[in-house]
Amino acid sequence: MDIDQPHPASGTDPLASGPPPEIRAGSTQPSPNNAVDPTDEDLLQRFCSAADGQAYEVLVRRYEQELFSYLRRYLGSAEMAEDVFQATFLQVYLKRERFEQGRRFRPWLYTIATNQAIDAQRRNRRHRMVSLDQKTSDDEVGGLMEIVSADGPTAIEHLRDGLLRGRAGLCRGS
């Protein structure tokens, strides 16, 4: 097949079409076919009024890389960023009716994302886990031993006293 000939299936020159148009956040730039891409606000309105799932998907795709990168930098963890990204768009879905007309979508989205990230950090601090398989330094072990030894004797003494009282009661009863 000659490169200058149109592709038989499409009837157009395959090299002239170029890459697909780039999707940008808040884009109102004309796409190559001279149509105007809908704004984020228009997409959210279409999703709210007509339950247009495609409009919601376009919003997610528009912000996927940008918002994920922001969350990864903010949280310092790609895994947490993935979870928060999903939680953010779940909140967009659940709170879509609360979006105020005339406001911009992007700041609203980033407010939701930041609040979700803060909540995730709080949960992570509350439920911080330490691997028992991970090697620890002597300083960490020493600090742990101080905590255990500070509470240890009183807890052990209480247990021992309780056992002795129970044993004494059993011995008297026989």
pLDDT 10s digits, 48-95? 777 778 888 888 898 999 999 999 999 999 999 999 999 999 998 888
- Chain centroid to Cα 109, Å, comes to 13
Residues 113, 145, single domain; the answer is: no
Residue 9 falls inside a structural domain: no
| Enclosing domain of residue 115 | 22-126
Residues 169, 118, single domain; the answer is: no
Residues 102, 173, single domain; the answer is: no
Dihedral of alpha carbons 53, 54, 58, 64, sign: positive
Distance separating alpha carbons of residues 105 and 100, to the nearest angstrom: 9
Global pTM reads 0.53
CATH of the domain at 56: 1.10.1740.10
Going by C-alpha positions, the residue among 107, 112, 108, 114 that lies closest to residue 74 is: 114
Give residue 76's pLDDT: 93
Residue carrying the six token digits 């795709």: 61
Residues 106, 27, single domain; the answer is: yes
